[in-house]
Amino acid sequence: MESWLFLALVLLIAIFGHNSSLIIATVVVMVLKLIPYTAKWLPLIQHKGINWGVTVISVAILIPIATGQIGFDDLWAAFKTPAGWIAVGMGIAVAILSKYGVNQLAAVPQVTVALVLGTIIGVVAFKGIAAGPVIASGITYCIVTGTVPCQVDTLNNEN
């Protein structure tokens, strides 16, 4: 019963905050709970869902290449601007943080509750987008463990 109340609260917050992604996600989870014998599937979705989501996001990112909206000229042009180089660096940083985040979510499920709350607050109160829980988990891991991905200090000393 507690899970239903928690999901209903999330749904109400999502509705109040006009966040369609969170509304859809919450309704999907509630429907899955209603379907008989899905108790076996929910842990699988929990475990593999992040990877499935990353795959869907990757497909969406690659579509402009497939449609010809982005080509090699755009790639070369990106390297001619500071923003392009920063974007490459941030892409690398996010990929590294996401690696730690996925491991953190698997190893310490309690963090998920705090991340969900933080994500809901960010989405509803600050009109953000719920796209960063894995990255947030990676940042949490780095802060909690004192880990510095890629040893940034070592890279700076090589110059």
Longest dimension (CA), the chain: 61
Say how many Å lie between the first and final Cα of the chain, rounded: 58
Q: How far apart are CA 82 and CA 25, in angstroms?
A: 37
Residue in 30, 34, 42, 35 with CA at minimum distance from that of residue 5: 30
pLDDT digits (tens, 9 = 90+) for 86-115: 888 888 888 887 777 777 776 777 777 787
Q: Tokens 């917050």 label which residue?
A: 13
Amino acid at 101: G
pLDDT digits (tens, 9 = 90+) for 59-80: 988 999 999 999 999 889 888 8
Question: How is residue 146 written in tokens?
Answer: 């004192």
